[in-house]
Amino acid sequence: MLFATVILGAQAARADDNDMWALLKKPGHMVLLRHSNSPESPPDAAVVNFKDCATQRNLDDAGRAQARRIGDAFRKHGVNKVRLVSSQFCRA
């Protein structure tokens, strides 16, 4: 079983790692991702309403661009049959 933790900085998911991408197309593997860039200011409200993104710390422009690159990398490498588990936060 491959367990890949993808930390995205300058390059989305090390797109040159063909072995990793090939394994991710097969059943029984997972990727654990943390949300993309989300500034700490302003912080989450004291009481977060998961149905109201205004009460949460959200992705900034850089975070949205990172998230697009992540999705693009998965699509580029044909990893498209996935089970997605996400937190309730809008930034996830």
Q: What distance in Å separates the CA atoms of residue 40 and residue 78, rounded to the nearest whole number?
A: 34
pTM for the model stands at 0.72
Per the structure, the complete domain to which residue 30 belongs is given by 3-76
Residue 81 domain-assigned? no
- Token pair in block for residue 8: 């995205």
The predicted-structure confidence for 13-47, as pLDDT tens digits, reads as follows 455 588 888 888 888 888 888 888 888 888 888 88
Q: What percentage of the chain reaches a pLDDT higher than 90?
A: 27
- Token pair in block for residue 69: 């690159």
Beta bridge partners of 3: 30
Question: What pLDDT does 68 receive?
Answer: 92
Which of the two residues, 60 and 17, has the higher pLDDT score? 60
Q: How many domains does the structure of the chain reveal?
A: 1
Residue 62 domain-assigned? yes
Residue 43 domain-assigned? yes
